[in-house]
Amino acid sequence: MNAMPTMRRSSTILLMLALCLFSCFAHGEESPTLPGWLTPSLAQKILSIEMTQEQRDLFQSSLAECLRSLRSDTEKVLRRGGADLEKKIARAQKRRFNAFEDTMLNALEDKQHEAFRVYLAEQIEVLREAFP
């Protein structure tokens, strides 16, 4: 029996829940629990970017795509196997984070770049700690 459709469905549900939690923070509401990849410090850093609604929508969709892709890239590397799996996974992660950064830096104004870079550096670290 193949567990992948169930896993994808649950991943999608989890991702949607996480995006809902993020939107609560964007509107200043409190939430009792956060997903493993989102800390209160990260939420503050996201808010400090001071994005417009259009930028926020792009941020949410780009972050969701980045997180989905990180998972699928890791699964793909593990499925293929071979030597130096950690190195291959790290390379795939770097590629995804760079794509996310490029997308957002093109959409953000120059004055927002530094706040975004600070956020992204911490986001990468939190993901590495939450999902070693």
Query: pTM score, two decimals?
Result: 0.70
Of 128, 125, 129, 123, which Cα lies nearest the Cα of 38? 123
pLDDT digits (tens, 9 = 90+) for 1-18: 444 444 444 444 445 545
Kindly state the average pLDDT of the residues 121-128.
Answer: 90
Q: What whole-number distance in Å separates Cα of residue 47 and Cα of residue 88?
A: 33
The more confident residue out of 90 and 131 is: 90
